[in-house]
Amino acid sequence: MTVRKRPDTKSTRWQASWKKSDGKRGFKDFPTKAEAMAFESKMKADIIRGDYANPISGKTKVETVYLDLFKTFGNRKPKTRDTYESLWKNMVEPIWGSRSISTITRSDFKNWVNNAKSLTGNQVSSSRIRQSAVLLNLILEHAVDMNLLSRNPLGKTKGMLPKIAQKKGRRALEINDLLKLAEHCGEYRLMILVAGFLGLRWAELIALTPEDFDFREKVIHVNKSLTEAKGGLTSVGTKSGRSRDLPIPAFLTNELRALVISTPVGVSVFRSSRGENLRKSNFARRVFQPAVKLAGLSNITFHELRHTAITQQIHRGADVVSVSKIAGHSSPATTLRIYTHDLDRSKDVIRGTIEKNYAESACDRSATDQDSRTA
């Protein structure tokens, strides 16, 4: 044992000493020899197991770790960084910011999750609580990477987080309803049709510029999106990180060509009547929702135009791989997961195709037999 009584202090102090993983020695004082010996034994055992973390480092504030973690978010999309900042300022910092990183326990975490409130003291949604918990967990994982903690004290959080209410089922419009809705959107009629037949996301749709349209090849190049962050719009990549080409339907070609020709290069093709970029919340409130009511529809969101397009493609017998590419999903597996019910319904289309092929083949065979008998 290397515990020793310190002769240079007025009160009786016992000093624990241990050799750290970097070869240097660590020291810590205790009022009793028993406490010093127990702590020294723990430090040595932690080093042998590979769980050692400097006990002094554990005094680092959660805020310090978060600021260091946020530096690593440089490659995240602006909207994602904004979300983390909001979660930190309104949910995590008020409770945890000034706490020492080593004092956080699973018990503290459970109590916080069960009683979490916003900075204003209002109750928040289960989704926001879960997002806040994810951020705190990221901070603790980063503390481990910084060698401030030997392990994340939360461990597995499954079962500790509130359940999110099940989302309402997606709704896909019938073609006639889509056309009616588009008409009631007035000057934005063409934009609604493009969204409802091709399935672009809102951020992709408002990011389209004249150079994205190739009328010779009859395709639209989707390679960017506009995301709202800090009150402005920033151009970023698509959600999947990959570009894709969408076919331009013949019945939209002339209108789209006229709109594209009248739009300056680099300017959004679909913009407000004043020539400004469209904002999703404003568009929904001023244009889309009033049009939904006028069309005699209800509970329709702009995003369900995308569901309409994808669902219609599936019901018309398009294969999953092609639909996945057009939709901009990360893989066909995503399409299968989201549109399982619609794919089940598409079996009727496949069955009809098989029966039609068989009937045509039967007719051909009958005609051939008739010709043979005639000959």
Does a structural domain hold residue 291? yes
Residues 255 and 278 reside in one and the same domain: yes
Does a structural domain hold residue 346? no
Task: Out of 52, 68, 85, pick the residue that ends a domain.
Answer: 52
Structure token digits, residue 196:
């409802």
Task: Write the secondary structure of 185-242 as one string of H (helix), E (strand) and C (coil).
Answer: CHHHHHHHHHHHHHCCCHHHHCCCCHHHEECCCCEEEECCEEEEECCEEEEECCCCCC
Residues 207 and 302 reside in one and the same domain: yes
Residues 184 and 310 reside in one and the same domain: yes
Range of the domain at 103: 59-145
Residues 243 and 284 reside in one and the same domain: yes
Q: How many residues does the chain have?
A: 375
Residues 37 and 99 reside in one and the same domain: no
Query: Hey, is 84 helix, strand or coil?
Result: helix
For residue 241, the domain's CATH number is 1.10.443.10
Does a structural domain hold residue 155? no
Residues 41 and 101 reside in one and the same domain: no
**Tokens 């879960």 -> residue:** 130
Residues 46 and 75 reside in one and the same domain: no
CA distance 310 to 244: 15
Cβ neighbors of 144 (< 8 A, separation 6 or more) are 150, 151, 152
Could you read off the pLDDT tens digit of each residue along the chain, which spans 375 residues?
578 788 777 777 888 887 766 667 777 788 888 888 887 887 777 666 555 555 556 678 999 999 999 989 887 888 888 889 999 999 999 999 999 888 899 899 998 988 877 777 777 888 888 899 999 999 999 988 887 887 888 888 777 787 766 556 678 899 999 999 999 999 999 999 999 999 999 999 999 999 999 999 999 999 999 888 777 888 888 887 889 999 999 999 999 999 999 999 999 999 998 889 999 999 999 999 999 999 999 889 999 999 898 888 887 777 777 778 878 887 777 777 666 666 555 555 555 556 666 676 666 656 566 656 565
Residues 263 and 240 reside in one and the same domain: yes
Residues 212 and 323 reside in one and the same domain: yes
Residues 100 and 190 reside in one and the same domain: no
Give 114-118's long-range contacts (Cβ < 8 A, gap of 24+): 116/91, 118/90, 118/91
